[in-house]
Amino acid sequence: MKKWQKRMVLLAGASLLAYAAHENYRKQQEQKEPRPESLTGTALLHGLLSHANEEITVEQAVDRFEEMSRLPVDHPSPVDPETDDLLCEVGTYDFGDGPFFYFSLARQFKTDRDEDEYRQLRLDLLFTPEEGTKEFSDVIWSEDGRAGFADFWKEVREFAPYRYLCEKGETAVKTLVRLEET
């Protein structure tokens, strides 16, 4: 499959997910008073999906994800603030489509209803692996829940893979957005 065909398939899938997320969010908002200072997991996903079809650099992705992380998660079951965490994971992996260098951001949280399960909103930027990315395989976690977010974003911007990709200025060859339970 050619690059433009893959982008079209991803765009079609992202459009369907974005529409479903928007409709779900709209229905939720009809049932309660709007809370503009917070977003549901579905709306967070919708906000990221609206950019999934764009060619995006790692710097743009980090800026958008940081902006989203400033919003509290609004969920029918209260979110435990100490489990509202961020992570940045990098490495070269092959999940069946050939090897890609992944620069992944995730927001992970747990509600009162979730016993051992976490919900994770993930943004994966996939780059063509090259000599300079082979050495990178690491994870950064925020600590102290939301209280540790500012330190996390500072650490991400000082992270060698982030600096490397910013210097290269390349856009991701694929952008994946998903909301999942772990």
User: pLDDT at position 12, please?
Assistant: 40
Instruction: Return d(Cα 38, Cα 92) in angstroms, integer.
Output: 34
- Per DSSP, the three-state class of 110 is coil
- Let me know if residue 9 belongs to a domain: no
- Let me know if residue 49 belongs to a domain: no
Backbone angles phi, psi at 140, to 5 degrees: -120, 130
- Let me know if residue 104 belongs to a domain: yes
Pull the structure tokens for residue 101. 């260098």
User: pLDDT at position 16, please?
Assistant: 40
pLDDT tens, per residue, the chain with 182 residues: 445 444 443 444 444 444 444 445 445 545 544 444 444 555 655 666 665 556 788 998 899 888 888 877 766 667 777 778 899 999 999 988 889 999 999 988 877 676 777 888 888 999 999 999 999 999 999 977 778 889 999 999 999 999 999 999 988 998 888 878 77
Instruction: Return d(Cα 110, Cα 84) in angstroms, integer.
Output: 7
- Let me know if residue 98 belongs to a domain: yes
User: pLDDT at position 28, please?
Assistant: 52
Fill in the amino acid letter for 151: D
Backbone angles phi, psi at 108, to 5 degrees: -120, 135
Query: Residue 88 sits in which domain range?
Result: 56-181
- Let me know if residue 152 belongs to a domain: yes
User: pLDDT at position 75, please?
Assistant: 66
Cβ-contact 93, 164 below 8 angstroms: no
Cβ-contact 124, 102 below 8 angstroms: yes
- Let me know if residue 4 belongs to a domain: no
- The number of distinct structural domains making up the chain is 1
- Let me know if residue 2 belongs to a domain: no
- Let me know if residue 29 belongs to a domain: no
- Burial-class residue 5 by CB neighbours within 10 Å (0-12, 13-18, 19+): exposed
User: pLDDT at position 22, please?
Assistant: 45
Pull the structure tokens for residue 83. 């489990």
Pull the structure tokens for residue 171. 């856009």
